[in-house]
A and B are shown apart, each in its own frame.
Chain A
Amino acid sequence: MMIDKSFDEIPDDITALAFEEAFKLLGEVVSSLEEGGLALKDSVELYKKGMMLTKHCNDLLNKVQIDITNIKEQFEES
């Protein structure tokens, strides 16, 4: 039941996920795989998603730059 849930939770477009969401999902994928009881086809599918999540997380960690915004200016503008 938990296996179905994590399947549903993983969107097709993994690259749209924020890091923390992807990281959390990756953890769930691993536990689902670890728990076993999946059809081979499903487990391969899940594994594939897991690898995509891993890549996405790594990409995010490598690419992103900090954006520093001055909130006061924003308040003054509006």
Chain B
Amino acid sequence: MFYTVNQVTTYLRESFESDILLSDLYVSGEISNLRRSASGHAYFTLKDDSALLNCVMFRGQQGSDVLEDGAAVSTHGRISFYEPRGSTDFIVDLVMPEGAGALSLEFEKLRTQLELEGLFDESRKRPLPEFPKVIGVVTSVSGAVLHDITTVVTRRYPLVDILVSPTLVQGDAAPENIVQAINDLNVDGRSDVIVVARGGGSLEELWAFNDEKVARSIYGSKIPVVSAIGHETDFTISDFVADLRAPTPSAAAEIIVPDVINLKRHLYGLESQMNNIMDSNLESIRAGIEIINGDLIRALPDIELFRRSIDDLSREHDTFFQYMINMLNVRVDSADKQLATLNPTATLKRGFTIVEDQYGSVVRSFNGVREGEIYSLVFADGLSQVQSADKKL
């Protein structure tokens, strides 16, 4: 019984692809015979002192810029059997300069994978609450991290409660622990934001935060997550997945809560703004009243004018009155003069006399005179008794 070539090569390919070890392989070696195709794939061999491996790196894989003839590299990939050529190939999906170590490779691999899945997409980063009321902290209760965070929060913004969800932060059990702690906070639901924090340490010590389960748990958290792992220079997968990466735990606290000093300044600003607005509003109301009041005053009848016309009238009246009086005086004077001319005394003064009989009646005619009668001669300055002697014509 003969197998066909195709049957054999298919069997080989399937064997390679189902082999757990061969399908997830870390290999280090030196690059030689590097060729790049127009389509962007790279072909090369990895070799050491005694053997070589044909390698293919398809376009768009992590680290293809590191490829260079003679370069010592660490790689990750899977073994496959390429049937058309009957060749066994190492399909490389990650290349790093040698010395990076297995952890770095693993890190890059997971990072690439999760990035492709969209776990790091900017579009899914959620904004942090401006004024959190409760901060959930996932960290170790034994380290300085919790103390650092609470110190900063107390100083900046004492209006929050801190919910601590304790966890191991290193060792084999840490990833499960961290996942549980994040989950607890999500179940509890009170936190407005979660800080996943750990102090500085070696790559190995920080490794739990490069765990895929931890990354997915951060990704799945309903509450926004800030990661603060190690020092400023340390980057973990958790940092990439989190809604925000803080360089350190203390920095995370500063980022999460507003600063009470700034808030007070802001409050003071709002207060004075409010006062200014009220002042200027009242001022403009006052100015408005002033204008209306002016209009009102202008609209009033002119009392002065009245007063002046009254004065004028009164003066005219006086003048007229005076004129009347003068006229009357003139008339009285002339009457007086008339009277004076009628006054007999004046006539008497000119030398005339009036003759009165003994009964006081004026004797106006010669016929009234009787002989022997006593008569009074009235002079201007006195009387004289005379007796009529005889009558002659």
Partners in one complex: yes
A residues at B contact (CB < 8 Å): 18-20, 23, 26-27, 29-30, 33-34, 36, 40, 43-44, 47, 50-51, 54, 57-58, 60-61, 64-72, 74-75
Interface contact A20-B131, CB-CB below 8 Å? yes
User: Shortest beta-carbon distance, B222 to chain A, in Å?
Assistant: 15
Tell me if B98 counts as interface (CB < 8 A to partner A).
no
Number of interface residues, chain B, beta carbon within 8 A: 32
Interface contact B158-A20, CB-CB below 8 Å? no
Q: For residue A67, which residues in chain B have a CB less than 8 angstroms away from its CB?
A: 161-162
Interface contact B267-A47, CB-CB below 8 Å? no
B residues at A contact (CB < 8 Å): 130-131, 133, 136, 141, 150, 153-154, 158-166, 184-185, 188, 260, 263-264, 267, 270-271, 273-274, 277-278, 281, 285
Q: For residue B158, which residues in chain A have a CB less than 8 angstroms away from its CB?
A: 61, 64-66
Interface contact A69-B161, CB-CB below 8 Å? yes
The residue from B159, B263, B274 contacting A47, defined by CB atoms under 8 A apart: B274
Q: In the bound complex, what is the Cα–Cα distance between A40 and B277 (angstroms)?
A: 12
Of all chain A residues, the one with the shortest Cβ separation from B160 is A66
Interface contact B163-A61, CB-CB below 8 Å? no
In the A-B complex, list the 10 residue pairs whose CB atoms are closest, starting with the nearest. Answer: A20-B131, A67-B161, A33-B277, A68-B162, A71-B165, A54-B271, A50-B274, A71-B163, A64-B158, A19-B159
The residue from A44, A61, A71 contacting B185, defined by CB atoms under 8 A apart: A71
The residue from B164, B267, B281 contacting A69, defined by CB atoms under 8 A apart: B164
User: Shortest beta-carbon distance, A58 to chain B, in Å?
Assistant: 6
User: Shortest beta-carbon distance, B276 to chain A, in Å?
Assistant: 9
User: Shortest beta-carbon distance, B41 to chain A, in Å?
Assistant: 51
Q: For residue B162, which residues in chain A have a CB less than 8 angstroms away from its CB?
A: 66-69
Of all chain B residues, the one with the shortest Cβ separation from A69 is B163
Q: State the main secondary structure of chain B at its contact with A.
A: helix
Q: In the bound complex, what is the Cα–Cα distance between A42 and B163 (angstroms)?
A: 42
Q: For residue A33, which residues in chain B have a CB less than 8 angstroms away from its CB?
A: 274, 277-278, 281
Interface contact A71-B164, CB-CB below 8 Å? yes
User: Shortest beta-carbon distance, B237 to chain A, in Å?
Assistant: 24
Q: In the bound complex, what is the Cα–Cα distance between A43 and B278 (angstroms)?
A: 8
Question: Given A40-B285, A57-B267, A61-B263, A34–B277 Cβ distance below 8 Å?
Answer: yes
User: Shortest beta-carbon distance, B147 to chain A, in Å?
Assistant: 10
A-B contacts besides A33-B274, A69-B161, 18 pairs, CB < 8 Å: A18-B133, A23-B267, A26-B267, A29-B274, A34-B277, A50-B270, A51-B271, A54-B267, A57-B263, A58-B264, A61-B264, A64-B159, A66-B160, A68-B162, A69-B162, A70-B164, A72-B165, A74-B188
Q: For residue A23, which residues in chain B have a CB less than 8 angstroms away from its CB?
A: 131, 263, 267
User: Shortest beta-carbon distance, B141 to chain A, in Å?
Assistant: 7
Q: Can you give 24 contacting A-B residue pairs, CB < 8 Å?
A: A19-B159, A20-B131, A26-B267, A30-B273, A36-B281, A43-B278, A47-B274, A51-B271, A54-B274, A60-B159, A61-B260, A61-B267, A64-B158, A65-B158, A66-B153, A66-B161, A66-B162, A69-B162, A70-B164, A70-B166, A71-B136, A71-B164, A72-B164, A72-B166
Q: In the bound complex, what is the Cα–Cα distance between A58 and B285 (angstroms)?
A: 31
Interface contact B281-A54, CB-CB below 8 Å? no
Interface contact A68-B159, CB-CB below 8 Å? no
Q: In the bound complex, what is the Cα–Cα distance between A4 and B159 (angstroms)?
A: 30
Interface contact A71-B270, CB-CB below 8 Å? no
Of all chain A residues, the one with the shortest Cβ separation from B162 is A68
Of all chain B residues, the one with the shortest Cβ separation from A23 is B131
Question: Given A23-B131, A43-B281, A66-B162, A30–B184 Cβ distance below 8 Å?
Answer: no
Of all chain A residues, the one with the shortest Cβ separation from B192 is A20
Interface contact A66-B270, CB-CB below 8 Å? no
Q: In the bound complex, what is the Cα–Cα distance between A54 and B185 (angstroms)?
A: 33
Interface contact A68-B131, CB-CB below 8 Å? no
Q: In the bound complex, what is the Cα–Cα distance between A50 and B275 (angstroms)?
A: 10
User: Shortest beta-carbon distance, A20 to chain B, in Å?
Assistant: 3
Interface contact A30-B274, CB-CB below 8 Å? yes
